[in-house]
Amino acid sequence: MSLSFRVWSSPLICKATLANGENNRTHHANDAAFIRRAADLAEMSAGITSPHPNFGCVITTCTGKVAGEGYLYAQGTKPAEALAVEAAGEFCRGSTAYLNMEPGDCHGDHTAVSALVQAGIGRVVVGIRHPLDHLRGSAIRELRSHGIEVNVLGEDFQSKVLEDARKSCLLVNAPLIHRACSRVPFSVLKYAMTLDGKIAASSGHAAWISSKLSRTRVFELRGRSDAVIVGGNTVRQDDPRLTARHGQGHTPTRIVMTQSLDLPEKANLWDVSEVSTIVVTQRGARKSFQKFLASKGVEVVEFDMLNPREVMEYFHLRGYLSILWECGGTLAASAISSSVIHKVVAFVAPKIIGGTKAPSPVGDLGMVEMTQALNLIDVCYEQVGPDMLVSGFLQPVPDLLPVIPSEDATFEIDPSFNPFEASIIFFYKTWDLYGSFSNFSPHSIRMPYGEEKDDYMTWSSVEHYYQANKFVGVKDPMAHDCVEKIRMARSPEEAARIGRSMQRQKPELVRNDWEDVKIDVMYMALKCKFSTYPHLKSQLLSTAGSVLVEASPHDLFWGGGREGEGLNYLGRLLMQLRAEYLSKSSVSAENTSLA
Ligand SMILES: NC(=O)C1=CN([C@@H]2O[C@H](COP(=O)(O)OP(=O)(O)OC[C@H]3O[C@@H](n4cnc5c(N)ncnc54)[C@H](OP(=O)(O)O)[C@@H]3O)[C@@H](O)[C@H]2O)C=CC1
Ligand SMILES: Nc1c(N[C@@H]2O[C@H](COP(=O)(O)O)[C@@H](O)[C@H]2O)[nH]c(=O)[nH]c1=O
């Protein structure tokens, strides 16, 4: 068997090559500009739409003039697409609609797609596909089924200007994208500090560092968050209200994180007449105070391990998409160390307060050299009244493009699915849900020893067989010993250790053709394993339609790597095997029905 895989380089595939490069550039620049406009429109209702995503739509005529625009105001109101169609009226026919994101068509509601179809739109350009697996691709398929040309940025063509436009679409729905890709809500750490880096005076007094204009911006930030969180000490020092007092939009839930529960009986946060407060604390802390809070209508949630990650995973499960951290430096440091903070928003006021004991925005992170400092990405600077607003990301917004494997390569392996619409199943450790796909799973196989086709032997795992094959057929007694040692290894880990270290220490013992045959060796072993164990074969078949990725952060050949930079050959071989099983079962079904 020979498998030829195209080495993956970039998921972006240029299909739309216009004859004239200049035309191409203008075309892309227009698409990028209108997609950005759609993203700006979507942004207008940020916070109000939640938990619905933010949608914007721009309709342009064939001469490139804007004929109509719209954005989704709030969950349950008219979709952006329908509003833009209404505004564009008769100009819709044959025109182009720009959407920052593929519509979700929640619970069978096809209003957005129907509006575009019925209006006679000729082309739709989509910034990003819907981030949620079960919705991704369905609106695009539906539009195409009505003969509408649909282009998705980054899939059909590529350029820097389009990439930037796509990024603006990722940013506008960052909380939803995080929800789709991680187990914690999108978190923003916000603080106001003096020019000498203090968030309060040595006394703890902090009202106010930033200007009124800046604080109004904070109300907006709160208005687009599902919750605002502070630590116990901020409650004791500031007695905050944490409401969005700009008169419109929604007010986030207030969360207090306290280990001691040593909090005052009188506090603004215990007034839940306008908005609720949740106190998260260590299990068993001050039971009498818990009762007192409950009598005020404040919810108390106890944690066995009170730390930012556990708390964020809990709120993720409760459906919170975005959290604004307005705590002091102690809790901020703990949250950053737990990698739950994605973005930082800092208001820097042109004031100096001094004081060696005055608190700073981030407490101890355990770093000792400047080279360890966390560098923000996509940094923005804006003057707000007298203050400077600096913001940037500690972690990038996850990208939705499937990076493993590329569209071409996936299609070669299994033509039955579109990688842009498929979900990804990760496997790695044997105890994972799909851990039996790992080479290390404890499933022995009977395979020949080298070239001797009738010399079948039992190998304790695929890994044993694979590692031993590095040295098979080499005319050196040491190579033979090596094969035996690996075959007798007590665990797949041990087999891998022996195989890898011998390969490093004695490269002369490795067969000359190893790089050429290693994929075939692995494939034969996998085929044997999945044919031997029917329940494994059923599990493999149950993943039809999904991309399989070995989530090894270290092995960039067999695994997918930490950031999807790996070639994922193990995942590819499993998909290849799955496709073979699937095509065999459809042929036999056909034969049965003919018989
Ligand atoms: N300028 C600005 O933007 C802001 C200024 N401030 C100022 O900062 C000062 C307070 O700073 P700071 O003491 O750092 O306040 P924090 O808001 O960081 O509160 C710290 C408290 O958080 C609680 N906590 C619960 N779990 C954890 C955890 N895993 N790690 C760390 N803390 C945890 C503890 O409460 P407990 O002790 O109850 O167990 C801890 O004492 C005040 O003077 C306030 O005015 C505060 C916020 C913003
Ligand atoms: N001092 C300070 C901030 N402090 C933050 O605001 C909280 C008070 O919110 P509220 O009670 O709703 O007005 C306070 O507890 C702390 O989290 N914020 C700022 O934008 N600028 C400032 O100068």
Query: What's the ipTM?
Result: 0.98
Question: Does residue 18 lie in a domain region?
Answer: no
Q: Is the shortest distance between the CB of 240 and ligand 2 below 6 Å?
A: yes
Q: Which of 368, 393, 418 is the last residue of a domain?
A: 393
d(CA 13, CA 440): 35
Full domain range(s) for residue 196: 182-393
Residues 53 and 91 in one domain: yes
CA of 311 to the centre of ligand 1 (A): 15
Residues 320 and 357 in one domain: yes
Question: Does residue 10 lie in a domain region?
Answer: no
Residues acting as catalytic residues: 81
CA proximity to 128, closest of 91, 181, 70, 92: 181
d(CA 438, CA 462): 9
Residues 142 and 46 in one domain: yes
d(CA 310, CA 243): 25
Q: Is the shortest distance between the CB of 69 and ligand 2 below 6 Å?
A: no
Q: Atom 15, ligand 2: which residue's CA is nearest? A: 240
Question: Does residue 2 lie in a domain region?
Answer: no
Question: Does residue 264 lie in a domain region?
Answer: yes
> Is-cis flag, bond preceding 208, omega within 30?
yes
If DSSP codes are grouped into helix, strand and coil, which group holds residue 256? strand
Ligand nearest to the CA of 254: 2
Asked whether the beta carbons of 180 and 131 are under 8 A apart, the reply is: yes
Assigned token pair, 83? 């509003």
CA of 588 to the centre of ligand 1 (A): 66
List % helix, strand, coil for the chain (3-state, nearest 5). Answer: 40, 20, 45
How big is the chain, counted in residues?
A: 595
**Burial label, 356 (beta-carbon count in 10 A; 0-12, 13-18, 19+):** exposed
Residue 238 belongs to domain with CATH number: 3.40.430.10
- Phi/psi at 137 (5° precision): 95, -20
Residues 432 and 536 in one domain: yes
What is the best residue among 188, 189, 190, 191 to mutate for testing ligand 2's pocket, by most ligand atoms within 8 Å of CB?
Answer: 191
Q: Is the shortest distance between the CB of 100 and ligand 2 below 6 Å?
A: no
User: Which ligand 2 atom sits nearest the alpha carbon of residue 242?
Assistant: 12
Q: What residues of the chain score a pLDDT lower than 70? A: 1-25, 106-108, 156, 246-249, 400-422, 451-453, 563, 585-595
Assigned token pair, 48? 């109000």
Residues 342 and 254 in one domain: yes
What pTM value is reported for the model? 0.74
CA proximity to 223, closest of 50, 55, 76: 50
Residues 389 and 413 in one domain: no
Question: Does residue 4 lie in a domain region?
Answer: no
d(CA 366, CA 544): 46
Q: What is the pLDDT of residues 209-227, one digit of tens each?
A: 999 999 999 999 999 899 9
What is the best residue among 218, 221, 237 to mutate for testing ligand 2's pocket, by most ligand atoms within 8 Å of CB?
Answer: 218
Asked whether the beta carbons of 380 and 392 are under 8 A apart, the reply is: yes
If DSSP codes are grouped into helix, strand and coil, which group holds residue 70? strand
Q: Which of 110, 140, 173 is the last residue of a domain?
A: 173
- Phi/psi at 6 (5° precision): -75, 130
- Other beta carbons less than 10 A from residue 165's beta carbon: 27
CA of 306 to the centre of ligand 2 (A): 24
Question: Does residue 271 lie in a domain region?
Answer: yes
34: region left, alpha or beta (phi > 0 left; psi from -120 to 50 alpha): alpha
- Other beta carbons less than 10 A from residue 392's beta carbon: 16
Asked whether the beta carbons of 360 and 199 are under 8 A apart, the reply is: yes
What pLDDT is recorded for position 6?
24
Q: Which helix H or strand E contains 542, and what residues bound it?
A: none
CA of 408 to the centre of ligand 1 (A): 51
What pLDDT is recorded for position 327?
98
CA of 240 to the centre of ligand 2 (A): 7
Residues 226 and 126 in one domain: no
Q: Which of 339, 368, 393 is the last residue of a domain?
A: 393
What pLDDT is recorded for position 7?
26
Residues facing residue 101 across a β-bridge: 128
Q: Atom 17, ligand 2: which residue's CA is nearest? A: 326
Q: Is the shortest distance between the CB of 206 and ligand 2 below 6 Å?
A: yes
Question: Does residue 460 lie in a domain region?
Answer: yes
Residues 341 and 443 in one domain: no
Q: Is the shortest distance between the CB of 237 and ligand 2 below 6 Å?
A: no
Q: Atom 12, ligand 2: which residue's CA is nearest? A: 242
The residues lining ligand 1, judged by C-beta closer than 6 Å to any ligand atom, are 191-192, 199-200, 204, 206, 209, 230-234, 237-238, 257-260, 262, 306-308, 326-331, 334, 359
Q: At 455, which amino acid appears? A: D
CA of 337 to the centre of ligand 2 (A): 23
Please provide the average confidence, as pLDDT, over all residues in the chain.
Answer: 88
Ligand nearest to the CA of 232: 1
Q: Which helix H or strand E contains 337, and what residues bound it?
A: helix 329-337
What pLDDT is recorded for position 1?
33
What pLDDT is recorded for position 251?
87
Strands (E), 14-106: 56-60, 66-71, 96-101
107: region left, alpha or beta (phi > 0 left; psi from -120 to 50 alpha): left
Q: Is the shortest distance between the CB of 326 and ligand 2 below 6 Å?
A: yes
What pLDDT is recorded for position 187?
97
Q: Strand 299-303 to strand 277-282: parallel, antiparallel, or no bridges (unpaired)?
A: parallel
Asked whether the beta carbons of 130 and 102 are under 8 A apart, the reply is: yes
Q: Atom 3, ligand 2: which residue's CA is nearest? A: 192
Q: Atom 11, ligand 1: which residue's CA is nearest? A: 328
Residues 49 and 164 in one domain: yes
Q: Which helix H or strand E contains 502, and what residues bound it?
A: helix 492-505
d(CA 105, CA 366): 47
User: Which ligand 1 atom sits nearest the alpha carbon of residue 329?
Assistant: 14
